[in-house]
Amino acid sequence: VSNCICFYDRVMYFCDTPTRKVYAFDYPEANGPLTNRRLIWTMPSNLAGGPDGAQVDSDGGLWMALSGAGRVVRVDPSTGSITHTIHLPVNSPTSCTFGGPNLDVLFITTRGPDGGGIYHVTIQVQLIL
């Protein structure tokens, strides 16, 4: 199941949700295949669910909704470390994106049975447009 597809500079991120692994690929400026596949993060086994939707901030951090784990995390792709965690009052966040006048608000979508709403939190990093 493909998830977490988002882009930063010349890098595309992709998650294979059943394996709970997130990969980065280089992609060409013109048409051509993705290259240099590399594992950047594996969701810890102590967390339920799997990575779902994602977005990249202006510092290159990868924000991912962990559906089933009730949180959104920011992973530093260069180290694989979680740098930020946003805990939610629902179990299944589905995606996240930046918005607001300064692009400093992270909007988080959720699904049922306990979700179905949109949450937002102001953060210190933002998306490059």
Secondary structure class of 11 (helix, strand, coil)? strand
Residue 114 among the catalytic residues: no
The catalytic residue among 52, 76, 104, 114 is 52
Give the angle 12-85-35 at the CA atoms, nearest 5°: 15
CA distances from 73 to 32, 51, 88 (A): 31, 10, 11
CA 72/CA 67 separation, integer angstroms: 8
Residues classed as catalytic? 52
